Amino acid sequence: MSDIRKIVILTGAGVSSESGIDTFRAEGGLWEQHRVEDVATPEAFERDPDLVLRFYDMRREAIQTKAPNAAHLALARLDAEWAGDLLIVTQNVDDLHERAGARRVLHMHGEHLSVWCTACDARSRWTETLIERPPCPECGEPALRPDIVWFGEMPYRMDDIFAALEDADLFVSIGTSGAVYPAAGFVRNARELGAATLELNLEPSQGTGWVDEARHGPATQVVSDWVEEILGPPR
């Protein structure tokens, strides 16, 4: 670790799983309860806005009842104590990294606690429901949608992510299946750009062939152990 200065971490649903938030592709996971096409595409929103708004109202309410787990807390400690560059790119739309205290977080798939006005393009923090078509806090129009990147839409801040991958000395993939691009390709990008690569996941992901090292187990264990290896035991 001595020659490591710049770390990029990619997290997925597995890092929030032990906080009680469903992952997407496990048995009975989120996408087994809902067809993606019915709730997570612009076409779905066009076709049946009430169904989509109700789905995200339910998810927005549910995440506010959950708490960060030991993996989120370990990553927040790393963020606070790591003197070099560090970026947590998360595919997750919950706010558990932030509630654990992490600051250098980039939500590439958007956030449940943010809404996007299709009239004035403003984004606002939002903890309530949208089904009643409330007015946009900026322009007053009843034109708010979930600030979530749906299938077929471009993930946020890809330039910033690729700039961080260019410079990374270490890329760590945590709690993600490696099933959805472009995030699933980051491990290969990082490796080809010269970073060391590490996977911390319950089981081998689809990207496990690209990592120098893989540690498998629950995130609350493998992430906490890894952070302690780097920083030493919490003071």
Alpha helices in 64-111 (DSSP H): 70-81, 96-100
Query: What's the min distance (Å) between Cβ of 142 and ligand APR?
Result: 26
Q: Is 176 in the site for ligand APR (CB under 6 A)?
A: yes
Q: Which CB sits closer to ligand APR, 158 or 179?
A: 179
Q: Is 95 in the site for ligand APR (CB under 6 A)?
A: no
Query: What's the min distance (Å) between Cβ of 15 and ligand APR?
Result: 7
Q: Is 177 in the site for ligand APR (CB under 6 A)?
A: yes
170 and 8 in contact (C-beta within 8 Å)? yes
Distance CA 199, CA 212 (A): 8
DSSP 3-state assignment of 174?
Answer: strand
For residue 34, indicate whether it is catalytic: no
Backbone angles phi and psi of 125, in degrees to 5: -70, 140
Q: Which CB sits closer to ligand APR, 77 or 112?
A: 112
Q: Which residues of 11-38 are buried (b: 16+ CB within 10 A; e: fewer)?
A: bbbbbbbbbebbbbeeeeebeeeeeeee
Q: Is 203 in the site for ligand APR (CB under 6 A)?
A: yes
What residues between 54 and 73 interact with ligand APR by CB under 6 A? none
Q: How far is CA 146 from CA 53, 103, 115, in A?
A: 7, 22, 5
Q: Is 133 in the site for ligand APR (CB under 6 A)?
A: no
Binding site for ligand APR (CB under 6 A): 12-14, 17-18, 23-26, 29, 91, 109, 175-177, 179-180, 201-203, 205, 218-219
